[in-house]
Structure 1
């Protein structure tokens, strides 16, 4: 290819690489548990995601990038032909992006990691034949090593999640005074999070921090020192603050009061402390109304559409509430449309750029007839300025809890009611405390995602950039520029902010019963697994890890019925069909590109 063709192909490849990163639904999985259990709002998750996703990517993410770039199709297969290498990775990015974009648009839950890996394999078959692709272990970087994670990652993360939740269950939940046990054992999670994150950076060395050949004593001392340091800080500041907040029920406490530290133990409780309420985490939302007002307290039960699945609720009563004849599929779709219109009406009342855009769309509807009718063409012109504003801000205002409306009376609603009834419900004060802990574990999971999945996305783009900028095939050990990792990490964050709700609305509470104590265990189990795989340069799917951890925690309820196995089976099926479909798309695009007529 001449230089003009190089630039043209690189531009196309860059577009698809960014689209694949934008639709990376794994980052939504890292935060879905926290948002669905209401430990954080979607807006808070956005800010924390940017901070920890970028940190994990910039410090650790380069290791898995080399596996994606060099471990599946050997560099010798391109015969030092930069044009073929550029075209190959462009088609690989296009194959993965097309499949992931379609799945995300239809709220289907697939692995972006395995979509990209499978697409690269399909491109390799189309380029050099099946024999030229590294199907085996290949020193831990071949397809055999990568696809081994399909079984190992969910199992390992399930074990980690079950172990962590079992510690919470037997150390806190089953005690006579679980609230105090929860308060004074909370620094343990700071210890785990700090140790895991620092270990991921110093073990085998972050390429960006010059830690490649540090001795074992240095790795252990830095990792444990960071973990214990955070635990001590938590004991000095977080424990007194939560003691006053949860045990004394001091509703006058502010976030800035945490800096008073141990002095808060001597702070007298307010006179009306017993009137203070904490959110009811045993409530499952099926209606459009939120179960909490703006102050965080519960609204009157008679005005709420919530169903309280408290421990004393009889299972027969639960099933009876969900046996009403729901009607046809058209009725269900009509109810969903009604819920969406209620949400849009609320957005139109806001004096924000999104409110302006929603009002403009509402006031200029498309009329009857084809799109080329004069009145419709005028409507499109009037609506056009609002589209980019909605695309940018709509996801930031989406309420994933309201999107759950309509499951009452449906087969899924009945199934989930049976699943929820198998899970013991623990005191809300304990769950309220673990909502703070879950923020820490979610940040750790986001850090782990940045350390692993950003490398997957940037590896292909780095190979394309190297071939385009140098005119030669990328060397096997070519470093990945830091700015490329930063661009991909930022693209993933933007995708989560503007479009992540499309995955989060179907992931929350669909596998098993969620609560902050359970969710923190799921996220920490998944984060540990992801970081372990990253240390050995093995790309692994965050969705697989969080699914495995969710199932592991769900089984800790003591019954197989506490897990929605139908949903688990559908997830596993989506992972499996991703391999041939993404591979076929990438392979067909590469085959057509290589063999099409040209001048």
Structure 2
């Protein structure tokens, strides 16, 4: 059949919303996955963006699904379209529009929802509008119906919480409770690399490689591959990682470069420096460090920028006071600041916090600094936008707005945003949460930061290989129906260029908009550290693996959230978890089902029943 040129506009709109859905996937789901590593300070925000981009695209392009279910997880029977390619195109376009709109709104308001559940709900709503409620698979349907999908909404976070708690309690018993935890952390690290390597390999086998078909290999083959990979990672860590960390944290060799691990066992005989044994040799993994205030103040005051509009001494844009974790008196200055903040509204305090970051960014060199200064120095004038003076100003502002949109996320201060704002209810709440979490030595946490980066990169690879089908599946249906003029069958071929385009959009979403989710995840739920973070990520990965064995779809983001709560409870107090934030997350998850479904159904119903004229 010829191409459906009369549906060019449907194809164009469907493509637009497929790109938007992939963008939201990166800004929401992928950002949530990396929030744990960033919150733990195992990796910097910019490094997370780089690693996330690389491994998401590698997973999607190299081993991503080459075919996609045309009817998302068997929700709508394929025969319901009766071979009408136009209706099929319209159905999935409406589903993508509803899901992407809802997820975008939630991301903008820092409410984390699952893009998978949003699309599934939208498809169900579209199915009701298209073929009626009786045709929609509401039951189990072999693990592919709505009953099976939404069963994971309650089970997955709970199971993930248990796994995360078990792994962290193992770390506590083996390392944290010892008299000399630093030595225990160093010498037992190959075991935890073995655990992480095995789980990561299983993630790729069962969740991240549908194109390679590894999960269909004999059990003995899978066991050999997973154990061999895990054992290999453990062996490499024993040969290179243990000597390197031993020299770093036990000998306190601050002169050892990052590439010193290549010397392997020879590092055991390397003499430790004696000039300055008190020099810091590992990062400070505290959620917020007190000394950041003085460092930031000096860096701001030391700036030689001559912009008269950057009044860094004004109360509204002075550097942020970091969230203190000490129990002692914070001094007269802190008392005055707190009293001043108590006289201001919540919106005023949050506006000041945002302005402090903006003022800092305006002092930077490069494109973002130029763009921030341009917007600051060229506000819109009085009158309507079509006034000649405002048109001239707008000509300057548009390039700056585009630049800020692309680069602002890379420079956002995630840690400051996660710590809570002084003088607000949230600040008081986070003070209680952090006070109930025991802080472990930085040298111990440093050991687990490497394990956490390994698990995070693997999770991104598996996500890119598997979850890209959420966006590319409906798009592949739309493209197949439009290009062939025939309704797509039970499976639609996915061209590799579609995988490349959508994986690129996922990366763009992560880099430019992911900070909206990252700033409320992690330390907004409970206190994070590398040993806690790697437990959360391995617990979430185990849960996804178990669900995949029973062909039950599950949201990776929901699993990592559940594991975060489980590890937080290991502090021994329910006050170590911010239950208000957890409640808001649960509310967002639950509301996704009716809202996305209603949006999809209403949109589809309006288009199907709109007046039309035949030529």
* TM-score, length basis structure 2: 0.89
Deviates more, 1:584-593 or 1:191-200: 191-200
Counting only pairs closer than 5 Å after superposition, residues 96-245 of structure 1 correspond to structure 2 as 96-203=99-206, 206-209=209-212, 211=214, 213-245=216-248
Deviates more, 1:209-218 or 1:585-594: 209-218
Deviates more, 1:393-402 or 1:24-33: 393-402
Which of 478, 483, 486 lines up with 1:464 in the alignment? Answer: 478
User: Tell me, what secondary structure is at the counterpart of 1:274?
Assistant: coil
- Note the C-alpha offset of 1:307: 4.9
1:21 matched residue in structure 2: 22
1:598 matched residue in structure 2: 612
Provide closer, same or farther for how the CA distance between residues 191 and 127 of structure 1 changes in structure 2, counting only shifts above 3 A: same
1:300 matched residue in structure 2: none
1:48 paired with 2:77, answer no
Are the equivalent residues in 2 in contact too, given 1:283–1:308 (CA < 8 A)? no
Are the equivalent residues in 1 in contact too, given 2:437–2:527 (CA < 8 A)? yes
1:346 matched residue in structure 2: 360
Are the equivalent residues in 1 in contact too, given 2:71–2:490 (CA < 8 A)? no
1:279 paired with 2:295, answer no
Name the CA distance, whole Å, in 1 between partners of 2:484 and 2:171. Answer: 55
Provide closer, same or farther for how the CA distance between residues 163 and 501 of structure 1 changes in structure 2, counting only shifts above 3 A: same
1:388 paired with 2:389, answer no
- Note the C-alpha offset of 1:55: 3.5
Are the equivalent residues in 2 in contact too, given 1:162–1:553 (CA < 8 A)? yes
Provide closer, same or farther for how the CA distance between residues 205 and 30 of structure 1 changes in structure 2, counting only shifts above 3 A: closer
Provide closer, same or farther for how the CA distance between residues 456 and 161 of structure 1 changes in structure 2, counting only shifts above 3 A: same
1:9 matched residue in structure 2: 10
Provide closer, same or farther for how the CA distance between residues 279 and 119 of structure 1 changes in structure 2, counting only shifts above 3 A: same
- Note the C-alpha offset of 1:432: 2.2
Which of 539, 542, 547 lines up with 2:553 in the alignment? Answer: 539
Counting only pairs closer than 5 Å after superposition, residues 308-319 of structure 1 correspond to structure 2 as 308-309=324-325, 313=327
Provide closer, same or farther for how the CA distance between residues 199 and 432 of structure 1 changes in structure 2, counting only shifts above 3 A: closer
Name the CA distance, whole Å, in 2 between partners of 1:441 and 1:247. Answer: 25
Deviates more, 1:135-144 or 1:530-539: 530-539
Provide closer, same or farther for how the CA distance between residues 574 and 411 of structure 1 changes in structure 2, counting only shifts above 3 A: same
1:418 matched residue in structure 2: 432
User: Tell me, what secondary structure is at the counterpart of 1:598?
Assistant: coil
Which of 492, 495, 514 lines up with 2:506 in the alignment? Answer: 492
Name the CA distance, whole Å, in 2 between partners of 1:204 and 1:377. Answer: 52
Provide closer, same or farther for how the CA distance between residues 224 and 404 of structure 1 changes in structure 2, counting only shifts above 3 A: closer
- Note the C-alpha offset of 1:291: 7.1
Name the CA distance, whole Å, in 1 between partners of 2:405 and 2:321. Answer: 30
2:305 matched residue in structure 1: none
Name the CA distance, whole Å, in 2 between partners of 1:378 and 1:56. Answer: 46
Name the CA distance, whole Å, in 2 between partners of 1:574 and 1:205. Answer: 27
* TM-score, length basis structure 1: 0.91
1:368 paired with 2:382, answer yes
Name the CA distance, whole Å, in 2 between partners of 1:17 and 1:315. Answer: 54
- Note the C-alpha offset of 1:193: 3.1
* Deviation readout 1:410-453 (Å, 9 max, x if unpaired): 22221221122211111121112222222112213323432442
Deviates more, 1:76-85 or 1:103-112: 103-112
User: Tell me, what secondary structure is at the counterpart of 2:527?
Assistant: coil
- Note the C-alpha offset of 1:208: 2.6
Provide closer, same or farther for how the CA distance between residues 62 and 326 of structure 1 changes in structure 2, counting only shifts above 3 A: farther
Name the CA distance, whole Å, in 2 between partners of 1:262 and 1:67. Answer: 54
Any stretches of 5+ residues in structure 2 without a counterpart? 300-318
2:302 matched residue in structure 1: none
Provide closer, same or farther for how the CA distance between residues 508 and 570 of structure 1 changes in structure 2, counting only shifts above 3 A: same
CA RMSD in angstroms comes to 3.0
Name the CA distance, whole Å, in 2 between partners of 1:285 and 1:204. Answer: 38
Any stretches of 5+ residues in structure 1 without a counterpart? 296-302
User: Tell me, what secondary structure is at the counterpart of 1:539?
Assistant: coil
Are the equivalent residues in 1 in contact too, given 2:157–2:563 (CA < 8 A)? yes
- Note the C-alpha offset of 1:68: 5.9
Provide closer, same or farther for how the CA distance between residues 67 and 540 of structure 1 changes in structure 2, counting only shifts above 3 A: farther
- Note the C-alpha offset of 1:327: 5.5
User: Tell me, what secondary structure is at the counterpart of 1:478?
Assistant: strand
Deviates more, 1:68-77 or 1:85-94: 68-77
- Note the C-alpha offset of 1:139: 1.0
1:79 paired with 2:82, answer yes
* Deviation readout 1:310-334 (Å, 9 max, x if unpaired): 6xx48999xx989956767963323
* Deviation readout 1:438-494 (Å, 9 max, x if unpaired): 211221332343244222222211211221122111111334334333322221111
